[in-house]
Amino acid sequence: MRDQTQEHALRVRRFSDALRSDLAHSGKFRIVAPQCGAAPCAADGEPSELLARARAAGAKLVLIGGVHKESTLIQWAKLQAVDIDADRIVFDRLLTFRGDTDAAWQRAEAFVARELGALAPSP
Protein backbone atom coordinates (compact mmCIF):
# COMPACT_ATOMS: atom_id res chain seq x y z
CA MET A 1 0.00 0.00 0.00
CA ARG A 2 1.13 3.53 -0.71
CA ASP A 3 -0.24 7.01 -0.18
CA GLN A 4 -1.92 8.11 -3.42
CA THR A 5 -3.32 11.40 -2.09
CA GLN A 6 -1.24 13.65 -4.33
CA GLU A 7 -1.80 11.44 -7.37
CA HIS A 8 -5.54 11.48 -6.78
CA ALA A 9 -5.62 15.27 -6.27
CA LEU A 10 -3.75 15.72 -9.55
CA ARG A 11 -6.22 13.49 -11.40
CA VAL A 12 -9.18 15.41 -9.97
CA ARG A 13 -7.58 18.70 -11.04
CA ARG A 14 -6.87 17.34 -14.54
CA PHE A 15 -10.45 16.05 -14.76
CA SER A 16 -11.84 19.48 -13.84
CA ASP A 17 -9.49 21.33 -16.18
CA ALA A 18 -10.26 19.00 -19.09
CA LEU A 19 -14.01 19.25 -18.47
CA ARG A 20 -13.87 23.06 -18.49
CA SER A 21 -11.80 22.96 -21.67
CA ASP A 22 -14.03 20.45 -23.46
CA LEU A 23 -17.21 22.35 -22.57
CA ALA A 24 -15.72 25.67 -23.67
CA HIS A 25 -14.39 24.20 -26.93
CA SER A 26 -17.79 22.70 -27.71
CA GLY A 27 -19.04 26.22 -28.39
CA LYS A 28 -22.15 25.47 -26.32
CA PHE A 29 -20.86 26.87 -23.04
CA ARG A 30 -19.06 29.98 -21.83
CA ILE A 31 -17.13 29.15 -18.68
CA VAL A 32 -17.18 31.66 -15.81
CA ALA A 33 -15.58 31.37 -12.38
CA PRO A 34 -17.62 33.15 -9.71
CA GLN A 35 -15.59 34.62 -6.86
CA CYS A 36 -16.40 34.12 -3.18
CA GLY A 37 -14.03 36.56 -1.56
CA ALA A 38 -10.47 36.26 -2.80
CA ALA A 39 -10.90 32.72 -4.18
CA PRO A 40 -13.21 30.97 -6.64
CA CYS A 41 -16.40 29.67 -5.04
CA ALA A 42 -16.48 26.10 -3.76
CA ALA A 43 -19.41 23.72 -3.54
CA ASP A 44 -18.90 23.22 0.20
CA GLY A 45 -20.33 26.64 1.10
CA GLU A 46 -23.90 27.87 1.33
CA PRO A 47 -25.69 26.85 -1.92
CA SER A 48 -27.72 30.06 -2.14
CA GLU A 49 -24.51 32.11 -1.92
CA LEU A 50 -22.88 30.01 -4.62
CA LEU A 51 -25.86 30.48 -6.95
CA ALA A 52 -26.01 34.23 -6.25
CA ARG A 53 -22.30 34.62 -6.98
CA ALA A 54 -22.64 32.55 -10.14
CA ARG A 55 -25.59 34.66 -11.29
CA ALA A 56 -23.55 37.82 -10.65
CA ALA A 57 -20.73 36.36 -12.78
CA GLY A 58 -23.17 35.83 -15.66
CA ALA A 59 -23.64 32.07 -15.30
CA LYS A 60 -26.79 30.37 -16.54
CA LEU A 61 -25.83 26.90 -15.23
CA VAL A 62 -23.78 25.93 -12.21
CA LEU A 63 -21.99 22.59 -12.27
CA ILE A 64 -21.27 21.08 -8.88
CA GLY A 65 -19.50 17.80 -8.37
CA GLY A 66 -17.00 15.65 -6.66
CA VAL A 67 -15.22 12.33 -6.90
CA HIS A 68 -15.09 9.63 -4.24
CA LYS A 69 -12.34 7.08 -4.58
CA GLU A 70 -13.86 3.82 -3.35
CA SER A 71 -10.75 1.78 -4.04
CA THR A 72 -7.88 1.54 -6.49
CA LEU A 73 -10.39 0.01 -8.86
CA ILE A 74 -13.61 2.04 -8.47
CA GLN A 75 -14.33 5.78 -8.34
CA TRP A 76 -17.70 7.51 -8.00
CA ALA A 77 -18.42 10.93 -9.47
CA LYS A 78 -21.51 12.86 -8.36
CA LEU A 79 -22.44 15.76 -10.65
CA GLN A 80 -25.32 18.20 -10.64
CA ALA A 81 -26.07 21.17 -12.87
CA VAL A 82 -28.42 23.87 -11.63
CA ASP A 83 -30.30 26.12 -14.03
CA ILE A 84 -29.96 29.45 -12.26
CA ASP A 85 -32.92 31.20 -13.90
CA ALA A 86 -35.31 28.30 -13.27
CA ASP A 87 -33.72 27.57 -9.86
CA ARG A 88 -33.82 23.83 -10.45
CA ILE A 89 -31.47 20.91 -11.00
CA VAL A 90 -31.35 19.99 -14.69
CA PHE A 91 -28.60 17.35 -14.52
CA ASP A 92 -28.12 14.88 -11.68
CA ARG A 93 -25.83 11.90 -12.19
CA LEU A 94 -23.94 9.46 -10.03
CA LEU A 95 -21.34 7.82 -12.24
CA THR A 96 -18.94 5.04 -11.47
CA PHE A 97 -15.80 4.37 -13.39
CA ARG A 98 -13.25 1.63 -13.13
CA GLY A 99 -9.51 1.93 -13.07
CA ASP A 100 -7.29 4.36 -11.27
CA THR A 101 -5.20 5.33 -14.27
CA ASP A 102 -4.90 8.50 -16.31
CA ALA A 103 -6.67 6.76 -19.20
CA ALA A 104 -9.64 5.72 -17.03
CA TRP A 105 -10.05 9.25 -15.69
CA GLN A 106 -9.80 10.69 -19.22
CA ARG A 107 -12.52 8.32 -20.47
CA ALA A 108 -14.75 9.32 -17.54
CA GLU A 109 -14.20 13.03 -18.22
CA ALA A 110 -14.99 12.62 -21.94
CA PHE A 111 -18.21 10.79 -21.04
CA VAL A 112 -19.26 13.57 -18.64
CA ALA A 113 -18.48 16.24 -21.26
CA ARG A 114 -20.72 14.44 -23.79
CA GLU A 115 -23.52 14.07 -21.24
CA LEU A 116 -23.35 17.74 -20.28
CA GLY A 117 -23.22 18.74 -23.95
CA ALA A 118 -26.82 17.56 -24.23
CA LEU A 119 -27.85 20.50 -22.01
CA ALA A 120 -26.64 22.80 -24.81
CA PRO A 121 -27.41 26.32 -23.60
CA SER A 122 -26.44 29.21 -25.83
CA PRO A 123 -23.07 30.75 -24.93
Q: Is the pLDDT of residue 71 over 90?
A: no
Q: How many CB atoms lie within 10 A of CB 102?
A: 12
Q: Say if residues 112 and 79 touch (Cβ distance below 8 Å).
A: yes
Question: Mind listing the pLDDT tens digit for each residue in 8-42?
Answer: 889 999 999 999 999 999 999 999 988 877 777 77
Helix (H) or strand (E) holding 52: helix 47-56
Mean pLDDT of the chain: 87
Would you put residue 95 in left (φ > 0), alpha (ψ -120 to 50) or beta?
A: beta
112 CB-contact burial (10 Å; exposed 0-12 / middle 13-18 / buried 19+):
buried
- Domains with residue ranges and CATH for the chain: 5-117 (3.40.50.10070)
Task: Tell me what pLDDT residue 47 has.
Answer: 80
